[in-house]
Amino acid sequence: MSGPASSWSEPQAANARRLFWGLFAVVFAIKLLVAARLPLFVDEAFYWLEGQHLAPAYSDLPGLTAWLARLGVTLGGDTALGLRLPFLLIAALVPWLAMRITAREYGEVYGWQAGCFALLLPLSGTLGLLALPDAAMALATLLCVDAGARLLRKVTAGGALELALGLTIGALSHYRFIAVIGVGLVVLLLLADGRKLLRDARVWTAIAIGAAAWTPLVAWNFDNSDAGLRFQLVDRHPWAFHVDGLWFIAIQALLVTPLLFVALASASWRGNRSGSSTSRYFALLGGLVVLGFFGLGFFADTERVSFHWPLPGYLALLPLLPAVLAAWPRWLRGATWGLAGLGLVAMLGYYVAVSIPDLRARTAAEKWYPSNFAGWDELEQAVRLARAQMPDGTRIVAGNFKLGAELGFALGNPHIEVLDHPLNHKHGRAPQLRLWGLQSSGRAGWGDAPVLLVVGATDVPYKSLLQRYHDLCGMVGPLPPPRVVNVDHGHQRFLLFKLEGGADASVGATCTTPAMAWIDTPVSAATVGSSFEVAGWAFRNGVGLDRVEVTLDGVPVAQAQYGLENPGVARYWQLANDPNQPRVGFRASVDATSVTPGRHWLGLRLHGSDGSVEVWPEQPVEIR
């Protein structure tokens, strides 16, 4: 698959060069603008928190991501853009390096084209928008790919040094880089020229340097009962066959864009049949990485995002891509370029939409609602206001690591304590919180000090919410009426509890919780007439509810008849101890004749017997 370098004219090379640099400038400028406006993702906030507690390694990752996060806010200020800037700059090296590798092996025009596709490939084109380890992993992958291609031609000190650099960056980036190392070693063993270079001491010196870079992570696991390894390799994966792995092909074809996905697959197939060791090296490395993650998908974690895992494989295949496209009809080449561009625009557009509160709110009832980006500004304001109304010395305690990290970044406080929570364990952050001394033991460790407890009501499935409230009672005592912060119609929902301390708040007292409710009729997104019935149930453990109001777009429109028999609620919610049980049903008639037809938001106001008022999350209805 050698490139027809001799047939290219200088105008062709100049056009390809201008296209690359034009795309590069436009994409980088857009990413800068989006990165400055996009709310902080929860993982980014935790990497910021790790950066404020500098260490060689952490429970979830090696140290590089945290070090870069610390560098970003140190140089760029405590802003989202400052945090993300080092990652944006590293990501900017990826298309340039893809271009350099391809140009050296297959000619200048193919080099510029490969660089363009590194920009257009949605998974690599959006690298750096978030302060995540993937940008450094992508750079490390291409450094190793480049070094391997150079060493296959001739073993030199420069090639070995580049390999050592790539292996070191990868080792400091993520556990997942082990896949790139393992596949790379297998590929070299499969190639005659690869086996030859593995007999050179300089190559093994580079490998030894790369292996040494894993020392901090190995040491952390040795000191902490292998908690990080167990999470990454055991706890988070079912290791049982499931058919969900079949979704890999459809998801990857969509994310890579269909024609580009086919072209990369063809590049792997054709490259492996080539007589060139370098082409076979690219093809085997890229193809085996992608196929490996495809096979892993039938046994591994399906609950967390993993669609970006195969990116190193696609990057390794990029040098082979231009030659494949050159053999396609012109119309098909154009369609491939166009679809790739549309894919990048769609992915960037998603991040733009997430950063616009009004657009994000319109998706509140959808399954793909971006809750991990939503509500942090509103929560910060509410916490600052509540904290100002409490006595001096009040400590802020977060209900889980997400809240602790996001509030820590917003308030400039990396020492916010966090209660034990299933999410802390699910995401492998509990061991690190314990090491920092930030895992709070609850009321037993607070004494009589006042506490502002910040809880995410939407951070557990609704079926588990009442149990979570009772778990909180076990840690902090009865829960007073909360200040509710509803974001995006309540689909991101926070509860602020002012715990003043004292004997009446002792752990073990009768558990009082926030209200629970459900609208049975109409269902979410239902179409209703200008007059319609609303029915459901609502209760509040320990205190009970006095009345229920129905709202439309936040405005009360009906007083519900509350106290209807509904014994099924107590049967389902076995922890329910509302004194009104089983009379917790409600029904109301809503007159919406004065409302403009279209989508509106139906909600509830729940009035407790103690005088508290909680605004319940809203659901959409279409009024015709």
Give, in order, the Cα–Cα distances in Å from 371 to each of 161, 195, 458, 586, 599. 43, 49, 9, 30, 21
> Does residue 457 carry a pLDDT above 70?
yes
Average pLDDT (337-352) is: 95
Distance CA 17, CA 19 (A): 5
Length of the chain: 624
Mapping DSSP to helix (H, G, I), strand (E, B) and coil, where does residue 621 land?
Answer: strand
What pLDDT score was predicted for residue 301?
66
Q: Which residues pair with 492 in a beta bridge?
A: 487
> Does residue 505 carry a pLDDT above 60?
no
What pLDDT score was predicted for residue 500?
82
Task: Name residue 458's amino acid.
Answer: T
What pLDDT score was predicted for residue 235?
73
pLDDT bucket at 9, cuts 50 / 70 / 90:
low
Pair 528, 623: CB distance under 8 Å:
yes
pLDDT tens, residue by residue, 283-334:
999 999 998 888 877 777 666 557 788 999 999 999 999 999 999 999 999 9
Element (H, E) at 157: helix 157-171
Q: How many helices (H) and strands (E) does the chain have?
A: 27, 16
Element (H, E) at 178: helix 177-190
Burial 539-565, CB ≥16 within 10 A → b, else e: bbbbbbbbbbbbbbeeeebbebebeee
Distance CA 218, CA 228 (A): 9
> Does residue 1 carry a pLDDT above 60?
no
Distance CA 357, CA 346 (A): 18
Distance of CA 391 to the CA centre of its chain: 36
Please compute, for residue 432, the number of CA atoms within 13 A of its CA located in the half-sphere on the CB side: 31
Average pLDDT (266-278) is: 93
Structure tokens at 543: 């205190």
489 class by beta-carbon count within 10 Å (0-12 exposed, 13-18 middle, 19+ buried): buried
Average pLDDT (221-234) is: 84
Mapping DSSP to helix (H, G, I), strand (E, B) and coil, where does residue 519 land?
Answer: strand
Burial 407-418, CB ≥16 within 10 A → b, else e: bbbbeeebebbb
What pLDDT score was predicted for residue 292?
86
Please compute, for residue 205, the number of CA atoms within 13 A of its CA located in the half-sphere on the CB side: 11
pLDDT bucket at 43, cuts 50 / 70 / 90:
very high
> Does residue 24 carry a pLDDT above 90?
yes
* Weakest mean pLDDT among 366-380, 441-455, 474-488, 493-507: 493-507
* Weakest mean pLDDT among 8-22, 138-152, 608-622: 8-22
- DSSP sequence for 89-147: HHHHHHHHHHHHHHHHHH-HHHHHHHHHHHHHSHHHHTTTSS--THHHHHHHHHHHHHH
What pLDDT score was predicted for residue 503?
41
| Region of 107 on the Ramachandran plot (φ > 0 left; ψ -120 to 50 alpha; else beta) | left
H-only helix segments in 355-388: 357-362, 376-388
Pair 136, 169: CB distance under 8 Å:
yes
Distance of CA 546 to the CA centre of its chain: 41
Nearest to 414 by CA among 79, 39, 50: 50
Distance CA 252, CA 112 (A): 24
> Does residue 101 carry a pLDDT above 50?
yes
Average pLDDT (436-451) is: 87
What pLDDT score was predicted for residue 7?
53
Structure tokens at 604: 């509830």
What pLDDT score was predicted for residue 305?
54
Distance CA 460, CA 403 (A): 13
Who's near 194: CB < 8 A, 6+ residues apart? 152, 187, 188, 277, 281
Structure tokens at 487: 């974001």
Distance CA 148, CA 364 (A): 48
What pLDDT score was predicted for residue 504?
45
Element (H, E) at 444: helix 443-446
What angle, 0 to 180 degrees and rounded to 10, lies between the N-to-C axes of helices 258-272 and 330-354? 120
Average pLDDT (384-398) is: 93
Q: What is the pTM of this model?
A: 0.92
What pLDDT score was predicted for residue 303?
60
Residue 590 CB coordination number (10 Å) = 23
Pair 407, 418: CB distance under 8 Å:
no
Cα-Cα-Cα-Cα dihedral of 282, 239, 297, 305, to 10°? -110
Nearest to 499 by CA among 543, 450, 443: 450
> Does residue 3 carry a pLDDT above 50?
no
Please compute, for residue 254, the number of CA atoms within 13 A of its CA located in the half-sphere on the CB side: 8
Listed in order, strand segments (DSSP E) in 511-560 are 515-521, 526-528, 531-540, 545-552, 555-559
Sheet holding 515-521, edge to edge: 515-521, 531-540, 585-591, 561-564
What pLDDT score was predicted for residue 248?
79
380 class by beta-carbon count within 10 Å (0-12 exposed, 13-18 middle, 19+ buried): middle
What pLDDT score was predicted for residue 509?
66
**Greater model confidence, 576 or 144:** 144
What pLDDT score was predicted for residue 302?
61
pLDDT tens, residue by residue, 147-194:
999 999 999 999 999 999 999 999 999 999 999 999 999 999 999 999
Pair 141, 170: CB distance under 8 Å:
yes
Distance of CA 195 to the CA centre of its chain: 39
Structure tokens at 228: 């990080």
What pLDDT score was predicted for residue 228?
85
pLDDT bucket at 8, cuts 50 / 70 / 90:
low
What pLDDT score was predicted for residue 304?
58
State the residue for tokens 């049967």.
571
Task: Name residue 60's amino acid.
Answer: D
State the residue for tokens 């004749």.
593
Who's near 454: CB < 8 A, 6+ residues apart? 379, 383, 396, 397, 398, 399, 403, 407, 494, 495, 496, 497
| Mean of the per-residue pLDDT values of the chain | 92
> Does residue 502 carry a pLDDT above 70?
no
